[in-house]
Amino acid sequence: MTLLFQRTLLVAGAIVALGACMKDPNAAKAPAGNDSNVAATDNSDPTASAEAAAPASISGGATIVQASADGTMKELRKGTNGWTCMPDAPDTPGPDPMCFDSNAGKWVDAWLHHKPPPEGVVGVMYMLEGGTDASNTDPYATKPTADNDWVKTGPHVMIVGSKEILAGHPSGAKPDTSVPYVMWAGTPYAHLMVPMAAAQ
């Protein structure tokens, strides 16, 4: 996850958990469709950007939220399926829209407040447009250093909140990001990164 995106996701998770997003009654309705993800667009269409993060069967019914420069969140569309999607952060070097379920929002809230994630609450996050760089070993790193193991992963799904699912997957500091691997191993926020094929 990117640094700005991490901050944005933290804010979004907290706001979603509190139900404090503003509602935009004029937001466009989500298109019905198949399970292919919506093609990514430029940042002039944040809803389409957010929907590109996950299969249409998920993102089409998700709440869409967007972060402002000051960190406040605006709800662009009220969802119906318990998922939340966010568009690409325009000031990061690569596309990084994300969709996450309500359990992943609880995991994010724990990360935000430096507290243990809830036990037995497994969440899923989609980043099918990919992501940019982050530390593979330090959940709170803000920039690359000689020893915080910066990595880049393309399109992927994250499984959070399950220690059991991590067993048997590589967990080294410098993983092969083309196969499933454990990010932030040895911390309460260890999670499985599962690379996915790029959208066709």
Q: β-strands 63-67, 84-86: how paired?
A: parallel
Q: Would you say 153 and 177 are in contact if contact means Cβ atoms under 8 Å apart?
A: yes
Q: What is the pLDDT of residues 74-104, one digit of tens each?
A: 999 999 999 999 998 876 667 889 999 999 9
Torsion, CA 6, CA 7, CA 13, CA 15, rounded to 10: -160
Q: What is the pLDDT of residues 109-143, one digit of tens each?
A: 898 889 999 988 999 999 998 876 678 888 887 77
Q: What is the pLDDT of residues 186-196, one digit of tens each?
A: 999 999 999 98
Q: What 3-state class would DSSP assign to 131?
A: coil
Question: What's the whole-model pTM score?
Answer: 0.75
What is the spatial distance between Cα 177 and Cα 113, in angstroms, rounded to a whole number?
A: 28
Q: What is the mean pLDDT of the chain?
A: 77
